[in-house]
Amino acid sequence: MDRRLIAIAIVGSLLSSCAHEKNNPDVEIPATSQPTTLPTTQPLSKVIARVNGEPITQDELDKPLIEGYGLNVLLNLVQLDLARQQANRQQITITPEDIKKEQKLTVDKMFEGNAGPDADSLLDQFLQQQHISRPEFDLVIQTNAYLRKLVQPTVNKSITDNDLKLAFAAMYGETVKVRDIRLSNPQEVAEAKRRLASGETFEQVAREMSRDPITRPLGGELPPFSRQSVAVPQVFREAAFSLQPGQISDTIESDGAFHLIQLEQRTPPAGVKFETVKETVRKALIDQRTQLMMTQLRNQFRQTAFETLEIDDPILHQQFIHRINGQEGGTADKKQIEGEIKQDRSTSAEPPATMPSR
């Protein structure tokens, strides 16, 4: 049995035990004619295995599993429980079919619709590589199924014809492809300009000087973007669309860094009419906004958990305190959440699947 699968069972056992204790007051011991003799030692823990005839008990297994995996599993359980509570307040129900659909959506995004009949084995391989057990993944899928149903009514009401036209322009309008050199200070900008002026290619200077760890190995190459693309800062878009192919921009300041960009290519608008692809655009926009709002709601639940969660188990409680202290009493967690929301706003219509809490 997977070690973290056992951990999930343990945490579930702890939670159900807590619920049982809350619902069952202390039981009075009936009076008898003879004094009651209380045991001097605690009952032996359940024996779950033996080696060379020597027993291994449940207690011996519980402690290392809770220490190793308990808090992460518990936090995923808490997010699922908070999602259920919200759904109950809104009289929203989730069926097994909803959960199956959520898993299919996630797997299709993970493998870009190419998993086919091997979807289960590919998913198992991926989870193994990420050190995530299948039960943990299933917890997140259940949570996402609730989140999707919770945000869908708001998403559907929020999309206007103007939104669709802007999304159409972003998906089918003129696009540009640029290379970018991200630099830390004016001195680096001056050095990059000197090297470019001496005849070195933009791609070479980007590979050797850019501070962007993602685009640096690509010679600064960025994915194509349109004038309406929200994934690219406005100042960046304005500079890119003002250039001619091969031309290099003046220094651009954005996101606390300095940039030089070179226009590689312009692609004219696709010969597609809005009405022809309107429903395709609507579907993509709904998916994009749904993912964004699911992330925002999940982050709200996470913050609620950090502010209100009470843990009785001493090991899990200590882990939780360390986690909070590591995030400066919740301040860092808030900053992280704001950063994730900002990042989600700049993702495409098909962001990566959400993984369990780590």
Q: Model confidence over 49-93: pLDDT tens digits?
A: 998 889 888 888 888 888 887 888 888 899 999 999 999 999 999
Chain centroid to CA 286 = 18
Residues (pLDDT < 70) of the chain are 1-44, 327-358
Q: Cα–Cα distance between 272 and 130 in angstroms, integer?
A: 41
Q: Put residue 53 in one of left, alpha, beta given phi > 0 → left and psi -120 to 50 → alpha.
A: left
Confidence at residue 68, expressed as pLDDT on a 0 to 100 scale: 80
Residue pair 261/178 in contact (Cβ under 8 Å)? The answer is yes
What tokens does 132 get?
Answer: 């995530």
Q: Which residues contact 120 (CB under 8 A, 6 or more apart)?
A: none
Neighbours of 273 (CB within 10 A): 10
Q: Which residues contact 86 (CB under 8 A, 6 or more apart)?
A: 146, 150, 297, 301
Map tokens 């890119």 to a residue: 240
Q: What is the DSSP string of 281-338?
A: HHHHHHHHHHHHHHHHHHHHHHHHHHHH----SHHHHHHHHHHHHHTGGGHHHHHHHH
Stated pTM of the model? 0.58
* 90 φ/ψ angles, rounded to the nearest 5 degrees: -95, 10
Give the three-state DSSP class for 47. Answer: strand
Confidence at residue 351, expressed as pLDDT on a 0 to 100 scale: 36
Confidence at residue 230, expressed as pLDDT on a 0 to 100 scale: 79
CA-nearest of 185, 246, 181, 190 to 208 is: 181
Q: Cα–Cα distance between 253 and 276 in angstroms, integer?
A: 39
Q: Cα–Cα distance between 33 and 36 in angstroms, integer?
A: 9
Confidence at residue 170, expressed as pLDDT on a 0 to 100 scale: 80
Give the three-state DSSP class for 20. Answer: helix
**H/E segment holding residue 184:** none
* 51 φ/ψ angles, rounded to the nearest 5 degrees: -135, 125
Q: Cα–Cα distance between 45 and 42 in angstroms, integer?
A: 9
What tokens does 228 get?
Answer: 């309406």
Confidence at residue 327, expressed as pLDDT on a 0 to 100 scale: 58
CA-nearest of 236, 231, 242 to 266 is: 242
